[in-house]
Homo-oligomer: A and B are copies of this chain.
Amino acid sequence: MVGLAVLGCGRIGKLHARNVASHPRARLVKVFDVSSEAAAAVAGELGVQAAASVEEAIADPEVQGVLIASSTDTHVELIVAAVEAGKAVLCEKPIDLDLERAQACWRQIAPRRPRVMLGFNRRFDPSFRALAERLRSGEIGSPELLVITSRDPAPPPAQYLRRSGGLLRDMTIHDLDMARHLAGEIVEAHAAGANLVDPMIGALGDIDTCALTLRSRSGALVQITNSRHSAYGYDQRIEVFGARGMLLAGNQRQTSVELWSERHTAARDVVLHFFIERYRAAYAAEIDAFIAALESGAPMSPDFADGLAALELAQAAERSLATGQTVKLSAAR
């Protein structure tokens, strides 16, 4: 049994804690949250101990891996603490809002050859995973055009947005990781943004609508559209067009029911509301992959470098937003 601690008991932390608790080969040892009430609630529900401090949770000798689901500004500090304590880490994206800070974190921990996995949960979605595997198996030849659709059901509150790092680092970062995952390393990025959903978002200096074009080293072009709202639910689709065909992974719904009436035919349910519903299986598979890597010693994937690369891409896209120019990514990686 692999012993794990969960830091942060918000929506995702709670989900992780439950997934660990019900995993056949893992044991949830400790949970922590800056709100001791939040921690106590999760601890009570799952019959585990709430730690009094992150230090206590990390230091527990039964804890082999630490799941970091606290607020973004604490990620770097907690990664460092966990790595220095010799623990493996599964950290929610992004590593940090600031690329340089994330890079510094890496320089600090790298000598320890840390085992850090990044929480790009969508890579573990059964449909996206099947699409990626079939793409790699050569089913449609080499990819030429990718179209990633990613639209949240409704904008978060201003309070969240203010500390979010902006649409590109907060929301698009998932799609940037997916682009790299499917098309390989990205060498160019262009972004066009707009404030169409809510003037409040514009007032915060942020955008709520975005259209990106990326180019991969292999030559494939990737397009992404983002919106902070979507009337019909959390719109999450991927299309990969290749030399010999196309693979699509579509939206998902609660039921398979269709209505045929005098107004419409074949009308389906709205799509699953948001990430908790849509990526339920993905989160469980992510935890499972983390545990399996912990057990086997195999490399963790996606790893810290993937987290840095996505952040670097988000930053490049921001530069493109500001200048209108296509931005080249550092050839170094």
Contact = CB atoms under 8 A, between A and B. Distances in A.
B147 A147 contact: yes
A244 interface: yes
A223 interface: yes
A261 B244 contact: yes
A263 B270 CA distance: 7
Contacts of A270: 262-265
A249 B253 contact: no
Interface of A: 22, 126-127, 130-131, 134, 139-140, 142, 144-145, 147, 149, 151, 188, 190, 192, 194, 196-197, 209-213, 215, 219-223, 225, 227, 229-233, 235, 241, 243-271, 324-326
Given A227-B145, A265-B253, A192 B215 contact: yes
A194 B219 contact: yes
A139 B310 CA distance: 37
Number of copies: 4
Nearest to A126: B255
B254 A130 contact: yes
Contact of A151 (B223, B241, B256, B257): B241
A232 to B, nearest CB: 4
B223 A223 contact: yes
B264 A268 contact: yes
A197 B250 CA distance: 26
Contacts of A263: 267, 270
B211 A225 contact: no
B225 A245 contact: no
